[in-house]
Chains A and B, each alone.
Chain A
Amino acid sequence: MSDPSKKVQRHEDGSRVKSTSYALEICFLAFVFVVVLAAFIEAFNYKIVSSRTPFVIMTPLLILVVWHGVRLMNPDAWREVKFHAGSAISGRYPLFNKLVGLSLAFVALGMIIYAFGHYIGIFVFMLFLMKVMGKEKLLLALIVSVVATGVIFVLFEKGFNIELYRGLLFRYMAGYRVF
């Protein structure tokens, strides 16, 4: 399926819609600006020795972000952002959907690792991505997930002597009551 974001799209008044990367960059810059501005204000609370270097970094950074933002801005910027954000949220961009799906899979992975441990987490994560999101055959997904989990176990637990997180459930069963 082709990504509609790559086709020529038009606003209601017939004007051409700019590429998704234009709207994405405005959002990215706005995010960077808000974070750096918050850090700049926060830095006033520190002793001068601690805030000196951050100020030296943040002052030109804020200037550059604003300058670049001004370079990018045009009267239609807000409309572009609204259009693409609306399209993305309504699921019209397959690439965006795919990447949001992957990001959500990461959130789920974190929760599964926290509850059930690292090995169960990565096994379920790989199986889910391959079978459900990647539409691979179940047998292939199962074999790859089992083998990869096994290799990671051998590599980290035996090879590098690193104990990976066992999860809250395992810890509870093992008698831990303070988490």
Chain B
Amino acid sequence: MTIIEGLTSGFLQSISLSVLPYLAVGSIFGLVIGIIPGLSGHFAMAMAVTFLYTMEPGAGIAFLLGAHATVAQGGGLTAILFSTPGTGQNAATLLDGPPMRDKGLGGVAVGAAMASCFLGATFGAIVLAAMLPVLRSVVLFFGPPEVVMMAFLALTFVAVLGKEDLVRSLIAALLGLLMAMIGLDNVTNTERFTMGTLSLSDGLSLVPVILGLFAVAEMFDLWGTGGALARNVSKPLSARETQKQIFRGIGLAFKNWWLVIRCSSIGTVIGLIPGLGSAAASFVAYGHAKQTSKDKESFGKGNVEGVIGPEAANDAVEGGALASTIAFGIPGSSSMAILLSGLFILGLETGPRMLNQHVDIVFIMIFTIIIGNLIGTIVGMFLVNPLSRATSIRAEVMVPVLMAVIVTGAYATDRSMFDIGVAVFFGIIGYMMKVLNYSRAAMLIGFVLGFSLEKNLYLSLLLDGNFFFLQPIPAALGLITISFLAYNIWGIARDAKKG
């Protein structure tokens, strides 16, 4: 399939009646989840994965990515209106959003944030589309040895660049890989680490593990915190005034188009590097916006550029992050790992096959990001006040309801009671990891990569012998991994010495 054919087919599928409703529902779901503090994009995707089994690939992708695409928009809304970022990636918006609200310009900040999100996401998606011809060629050089070394590189990046401690993240990544070894070995048909349980002979199912690590764990956290989800709730503006301000904010985002493009570029590049993620991108973009502004003094006191920059970068990350996920099957973040799991569930395979034979699927992803953000912006524009009421729900009401949905989703995956237990077990593990600063993203990426890592390691040893890692590309990837790890370990040792 040529790129033009893929583009046309992807666009037509994205706006077809068999896909668009799922995209709209996913986008609104993501927006609401983003608004609710404590629930993140991972949560939205983890919940969305449970519904994929009965969907067609196009609808499933649209639902999953739509849910993910709008989370940042919802999060930005609560960061500005309630000084409580719905998700961690909106933390940079706290610097100038709430001061704007305190000046009576909350609607302007919301409008600017939503439009910047949409523009940033569109930029990232266009860059991804532009990269496709290059990716199609590059991916052909990637055989089993390259994939093995690339997987180790990605895990190292996630462990080192994540916000958690390096050793803890490496432990989490290796635990994730080990979890993937549970069940029947494909080569020898030997049962491994099943403890004689029939339920484990097929290995741990992806959905209950994802639900446990990212949804149940968040529920434990919320239940522990208790009370209303957003505190410091100020009196909202009237609906009419809010609308007027939102349109002004949207105009300001378009007026600052050059800033949007620069910050979106930062976001897209950071998205390409596994492990950094949206939060890092938005802070770098904020710094850039401040440095290049003519009015540096007003940053932190309510400058709209301080909202536009981080929000544009925030959503532009997805384009970059998707590139490595769909080209090499190597996810750079927990969201991408969940997306990859979703693709497995929908029966899709990443890598050369997707880029060459199913490029329409890639374009569905691209258009989903753009249309999803557009839906999020439109819904957000008109329903800011009603949507923001979601933050007044108490944890004591929300947690039981969401837990019932999670438990049902875990069961529905394989119609197995055992999977409910798996979700709860990994919920407890995930909560402990969150409290103790162990990277859940690294564990999930390890778990998702474990299957392909073992398969490709086996093929590498079979086809290229014991020293497969000495071939040029694997050797280069291995060298980068070791140098990167060694440099960071040296840095830790140096800091420890300084005391």
Secondary structure of the A side of the interface?
helix
Looking at chain B's contact residues, the main secondary structure is: helix
Interface residues of A in 29-62 (CB under 8 A from B): 32, 36, 39, 42-43, 46-47, 49-54, 56-58, 60-61
Q: Is the CB of A54 within 8 A of B408?
A: no
B426 to A: closest C-beta gap in Å:
12
Q: Could you tell me the distance between the alpha carbons of A45 and B412 in the complex, rounded to whole angstroms?
A: 35
- Chain A residues with CB under 8 A of B396: 129-130, 133-136
B4 at the interface (CB under 8 A from A): no
> In the bound complex, what is the Cα–Cα distance between A144 and B403 (angstroms)?
13
Asked if B408 contacts A164 (CB within 8 A), the reply is yes
Contact among A64, A99, A152 for B220, CB-based, below 8 A: A99
Closest CB of chain A to B106's CB: distance in Å? 30
Q: How many A-B pairs with Cβ below 8 Å?
A: 150
Q: Are the CB atoms of A140 and B397 closer together than 8 Å?
A: yes
Question: Are B407 and A122 in contact, with the CB atoms below 8 A?
Answer: yes
- Looking at the complex, which one of A21, A57, A152 makes contact with B181 (CB distance below 8 Å)? A57
CB-CB contacts below 8 Å: A91-106 with B: 95, 98-99, 102-103, 106
Tell me the smallest distance from the CB of A170 to a CB of chain B, in Å.
14
**Contact (Cβ within 8 A) B412 A162:** yes
**Is B185 interfacial (CB 8 A cutoff)?**
yes
Chain B residues bordering chain A, tally (CB within 8 A):
50
Residue B174 is within 8 A (CB to CB) of chain A in the complex: yes
A161-B54 in contact given A24-B436, A65-B171 (Cβ < 8 Å): yes
Chain A residue total in the interface (Cβ 8 A): 60
Residues of A within 8 A of B134 (CB): none
Do B188 and A50 have beta carbons less than 8 Å apart?
Answer: yes
CB pair B190 A148 closer than 8 Å: no
A76 interfacial by beta-carbon distance below 8 Å: no
19 additional A-B residue pairs with CB within 8 Å, beyond A28-B436, A50-B188: A21-B436, A36-B175, A47-B190, A57-B178, A65-B171, A67-B167, A99-B220, A109-B407, A113-B420, A118-B408, A118-B411, A129-B399, A134-B226, A134-B395, A148-B400, A152-B408, A160-B54, A163-B415, A164-B411
B residues with a Cβ closer than 8 A to A are 51, 53-54, 167-168, 170-171, 174-175, 177-178, 181, 185, 187-188, 190, 192-193, 220, 223-224, 226, 394-397, 399-401, 403-405, 407-408, 411-412, 415, 417, 420-421, 424, 428, 431-432, 435-436, 453-454, 457-458
A-to-B contact residues, CB < 8 Å: 21, 24-25, 28, 32, 36, 39, 42-43, 46-47, 49-54, 56-58, 60-61, 64-65, 67-68, 71, 95, 98-99, 102-103, 106, 109-110, 113-114, 118, 122, 125-126, 129-130, 133-136, 140, 144-145, 148-149, 152, 156, 160-165
